[in-house]
Amino acid sequence: MKKLLILLLVLCTFGCKKYVVSFEQPTNMKLDSLKLEVFLDKKKIKDIKLKATNEMPTYETEEFSISDEGKHLLEFKTKDTVFTYEVKYPDEKFIKVTAHLKDNKKIYIGILKQNYKFRFQ
């Protein structure tokens, strides 16, 4: 039984490939209830609804499974705009997504990619 448990733990550690994506909840109240559709390799994987706050930004973290290493296409659709980013696994497996409202009232989605976990304070 102990060997089976160790084998299961090893398989999950090395066999499960995931992107960890943290969505920053905006501080701009005009972005409250903004819906983001998340696509990975042209396949819709999640709908995220941002909740604006007047205080420090908070984060909603999701894990998205992938099948292989290499380049993947991460897309965010909001209203009538699509934001497309190439991400490499395992080099960029931790991703932080932020939504901003520019001066011309256009929404911009930015991402930060890295190999290690983000530290939110």
pLDDT at residue 40 in the model: 92
Q: Tell me the per-residue pLDDT of 8-43, one tens digit each, with 9 for 90 and over.
A: 455 555 557 888 999 999 988 999 999 999 999 999
β-bridge mates for residue 18, sequence order: 65
Residue with tokens 């084998």: 7
Residue segments in the chain with a per-residue pLDDT below the cut of 50:
7-8
pLDDT at 5: 52
State whether CATH 2.60.40 applies to domain 17-114. yes
Extents of the domains making up the chain: 17-114
pLDDT at residue 4, as a whole number: 52
pTM higher than 0.85: no
